[in-house]
């Protein structure tokens, strides 16, 4: 039995995808076929086979070995000069055997072809299994490009596909299966995984020892802790590729310089990241694998060496904990662009509870914040992520907020203007000037894309702050503030 690795595969990651087909049929006999002169005969054939099924159910002891083989051969339609094109064009999948009555090899192949037809029918396959006497209908055989005997052809939507399979019933079933074409397409599109197909149950069990079926089977074999994964979806290219993308990674992926692109492009967008030193990770490895197994396909688990600044620092900075030295458990939802941080003790039970909350959407996103500062002195109030609600959104006063970052080249100039404005409006009790460093503080209601940004949060309208032009002079901003607050406050001076 042949095992054919995909020739277009460029990279091997110790992963194998298997397509298996195995069916036992009692014996072989001479060929007795049904001649199909019209499409109505397909219905007649189905009715005859239904009678066979009922007879076997009612009187199984009367079903002889010869009768079983005869039924298998009746499933194969006999094509002729009138019905060949119509039946092939009218079938999504059609497997055609071109034979000659005088050909010994054709005679040897027919029982296997009939057995394959029986197996495919029992599996509910939509494939039309048919044969044509190429010697008698030589013109039709020539049109089908049958140049010798026996010849096997697979037609997909009326288009002939090259047949490179074997000639046992199992191998014919693989190619006759409607899913095989989808399997081959998936193999062509995925260049990371080694694809293998076999018709031998013994070979299959060497690769997938837990195999418990004799029907068409697709499974993945990896060298990781979760070694065997069976596929239970439909034989469609996109579904197979989705299965591969969701299962090609180990239970816990170690992030490296070479696999970052693959990790970020994973279809599992909710990713749990464990930052730790290699020695510390050893104590967590087994509990983490047990947790990862419970949330497989829902969460992707990634280990990052916290001492590797190139890999760890970009993520830790997003949480404002770039100086962390001990183990950190965090998560990212790459679909919603949200991040999460486990702030409690890193026990296995707490990690599992954190992961369960992530999977069910009950964990609140994390927003980084500096410690709450002492605002006793200064005319401009320092706001951080944790004090944003209290000092801005829930404040009964109007708040003019300057949003800046340390790396912004023009922010220093704006800060000086805000300081000047705060002193100018010092006598107005209903107006507060505030400032927040957006590089170190976040809040779900603070969405700023450019810096500096000046926002005026008016009393009673805090959900819709007014944005001031960052190019305005101090005098222009004073006029703007005066106009915005005039209806509710006494008139403010324009002159600075």
Highest mean pLDDT among 37-46, 157-166, 279-288, 420-429: 279-288
Query: Using an 8 Å Cβ cutoff, are 41 and 34 in contact?
Result: yes
471 found inside a domain: yes
Note the pLDDT of residue 5.
39
H or E stretch at 399: strand 398-404
Residue 208 pLDDT greater than 90, yes or no: no
7 is a domain residue: no
- Quick one: pLDDT band at residue 45, thresholds 50, 70, 90? very low
Of residues 39 and 249, more confidently modeled: 249
Q: Is the predicted pLDDT of residue 179 greater than 70, yes or no?
A: no
Please check the confidence at residue 344 and state whether its pLDDT lies above 70.
yes
Q: Which of 71-75, 220-224, 360-364 has the highest mean pLDDT?
A: 360-364
- At 246 the pLDDT is 74
Residue 310: inside a domain: yes
Q: Which is more confident, 178 or 378?
A: 378
Q: What percent of the chain has pLDDT over 70?
A: 78
Taking residues 28-36, report their average pLDDT: 31
**452 and 320 in one domain?**
no
Which spans in 265-340 are helix H? 278-294, 309-318
**Tell me: the pLDDT tens digits for 83-141?**
899 999 888 888 899 999 999 999 999 988 988 888 888 767 778 889 999 999 999 99
Q: How far apart are CA 31 and CA 103, in angstroms?
A: 13
pLDDT of residue 43: 52
Question: What is the per-residue pLDDT for 21?
Answer: 35
Q: Does position 24 have pLDDT exceeding 80, yes or no?
A: no
According to the model, what pLDDT value does residue 11 have?
27
**Domain termination residue (choose one: 150, 176, 202):** 176
Judge if 172 and 188 occupy the same domain: no
Judged by DSSP in three states, 332 sits in strand
Quick count: other Cβ atoms within 10 Å of Cβ 269?
A: 14
Mean pLDDT value across residues 54-78? 54
Q: Are 316 and 448 contained in the same domain?
A: no
**pLDDT score of 288 more than 50:** yes
Please state the pTM of the whole predicted model.
Answer: 0.60
Which residues are identified as catalytic?
A: 103, 408, 411
Residue 350, pLDDT above cutoff 90 = yes
- Higher-pLDDT residue of 282 and 164 is 282
* Cis bond upstream, residue 289 (ω within 30): no
In this predicted model, what pLDDT tens digit does every residue of 372-413 receive, in sequence order? 998 877 789 999 999 999 999 999 999 999 999 999 999 999
pLDDT band at 63 (very low <50, low <70, confident <90, very high): very low
Q: Are residues 467 and 407 in the same domain?
A: yes
pLDDT digits (tens, 9 = 90+) for 438-462: 999 999 999 998 999 999 999 999 9
Number of domains in the chain: 4
Token pair 């990770």: residue: 281
Q: Cα–Cα distance between 194 and 173 in angstroms, integer? A: 22
Indicate whether 227 and 308 sit together in one domain: no
pLDDT of residue 387: 95
pLDDT, residue 487, reads 60
Mean pLDDT of the chain: 79
pLDDT on residue 173: 79
Residue 365 lies in a domain: no
Report pLDDT for 17. 54
Say which CATH number the domain at 198 has: 3.40.30.10
**Letter string b/e over residues 216-246, b meaning 16 or more CB atoms within 10 A of that residue's CB:** bbbbbbbeeebeebebeeebebeebbebbbb
240 and 127 share one domain: no
Phi, psi of 240, deg, nearest 5: -65, -45
Selection from 289, 286, 253, 284 nearest residue 268 by Cα: 253
How many other β-carbons are positioned within 10 Å of the β-carbon of residue 444? 11
Which pLDDT does position 213 carry in this prediction?
63
Last-in-domain residue among 176, 204, 225? 176
166 and 194 fall within a common domain: no
Check if the beta carbon of residue 398 is closer than 8 Å to that of residue 432. yes
Is there a single domain that holds both residue 258 and residue 224? no
My answer on whether 172 and 218 are in the same domain is no
Query: How large a percentage of the chain has pLDDT more than 90?
Result: 42
CB-CB contact of 496 with 424 (8 Å): yes
Residue 222: which pLDDT band, with cuts at 50, 70 and 90?
confident
pLDDT tens profile 242-276: 887 777 788 899 999 988 888 888 888 999 999 99
Instruction: Please indicate, yes or no, if residue 372 is contained in any of the structural domains.
Output: no
Q: Does residue 50 share a domain with residue 120?
A: yes
Domain final residue pick, 207, 230, 247: 247
The whole-angstrom separation of Cα 77 and Cα 99 is: 13
> What is the helix, strand, coil percentage profile of the chain, to 5?
35, 20, 45
- Please give the pLDDT value at position 261: 86
Q: Which residue has the tokens 């940004």?
A: 453
Q: How long a stretch of residues is the chain?
A: 496
What pLDDT score was predicted for residue 7?
A: 37
Matching residue, tokens 């009326």: 158
The reply to whether 144 falls in a domain is yes
Residue 192 and residue 111 in one domain: no
Q: Which domain holds residue 427?
A: 380-485
Q: Which of 91, 123, 96, 126 is nearest to 109 (CA)?
A: 96
Is residue 314 located within the same domain as residue 339? yes
Residue 29 within any structural domain of the chain = no
Sheet arrangement for strand 380-383: 380-383, 431-437, 398-404, 453-457, 466-468
Which pLDDT band, with edges at 50, 70 and 90, does 16 fall under? very low
453 occurs within a structural domain: yes
């Amino acid at each position: 039995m042949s095992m054919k690795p995909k020739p277009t595969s460029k990279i091997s990651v110790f992963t194998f995808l298997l397509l298996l087909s195995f069916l036992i049929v009692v014996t072989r006999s001479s060929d007795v076929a049904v001649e199909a002169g019209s499409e109505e005969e397909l219905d007649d054939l189905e009715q005859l086979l239904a009678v066979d099924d009922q007879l076997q159910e009612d009187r199984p002891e009367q079903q002889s070995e010869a009768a079983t083989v005869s039924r298998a051969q009746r499933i194969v339609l006999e094509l002729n000069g009138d019905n060949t094109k119509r039946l092939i064009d009218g079938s999504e999948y059609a497997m055609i055997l071109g034979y000659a009555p005088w050909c010994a090899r054709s005679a040897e192949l027919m029982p296997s072809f009939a057995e394959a037809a029986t197996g495919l029918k029992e599996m509910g396959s939509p494939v039309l299994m048919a044969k044509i006497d190429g010697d008698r209908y030589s013109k039709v055989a020539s049109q089908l490009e049958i140049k010798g005997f026996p010849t096997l052809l697979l037609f997909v939507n009326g288009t002939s596909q090259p047949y490179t399979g074997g000639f046992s019933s199992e191998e014919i079933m693989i190619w006759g299966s409607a899913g095989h074409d989808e399997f081959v397409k998936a193999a062509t599109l995925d260049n990371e995984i080694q694809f293998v197909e076999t018709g031998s149950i013994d070979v299959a069990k060497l690769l997938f020892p837990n195999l418990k079926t004799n029907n068409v089977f697709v499974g993945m074999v990896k060298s990781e802790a979760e070694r065997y994964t069976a596929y239970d979806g439909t034989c469609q290219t996109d579904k197979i590729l989705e299965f591969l993308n969701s299962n090609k990674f180990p239970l816990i992926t170690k992030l490296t310089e070479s696999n970052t692109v693959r990790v970020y492009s994973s279809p599992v967008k909710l990713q749990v990241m464990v930052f730790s030193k290699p020695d510390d990770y050893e104590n967590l490895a087994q509990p983490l694998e047990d947790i990862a197994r419970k949330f497989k396909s829902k969460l992707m688990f990634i280990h990052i060496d916290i001492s590797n600044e190139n890999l760890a620092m970009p993520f830790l900075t997003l949480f404002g904990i770039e100086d962390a030295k001990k183990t950190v458990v965090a998560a990212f939802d790459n679909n919603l662009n949200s991040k999460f941080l486990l702030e409690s003790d890193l026990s296995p039970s707490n990690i599992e509870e954190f992961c369960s909350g992530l999977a069910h959407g009950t964990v609140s996103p994390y927003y980084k914040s500096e410690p709450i500062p002492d605002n006793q002195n200064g005319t401009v109030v320092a706001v951080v992520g944790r004090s944003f609600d209290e000092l801005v959104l829930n404040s009964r006063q109007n708040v003019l907020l300057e949003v800046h970052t340390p790396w912004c080249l023009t922010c220093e100039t704006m800060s000086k203007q805000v300081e000047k404005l705060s002193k100018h409006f010092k006598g107005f009790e209903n107006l507060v000037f505030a400032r927040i460093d957006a590089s170190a503080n976040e809040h779900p209601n603070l969405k700023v894309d450019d810096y500096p940004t000046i926002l005026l949060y008016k009393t009673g309208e805090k959900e819709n702050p007014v944005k001031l032009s960052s190019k305005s002079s101090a005098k222009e901003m004073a006029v703007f503030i005066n106009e915005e607050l005039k209806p509710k406050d006494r008139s403010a001076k324009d002159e600075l």
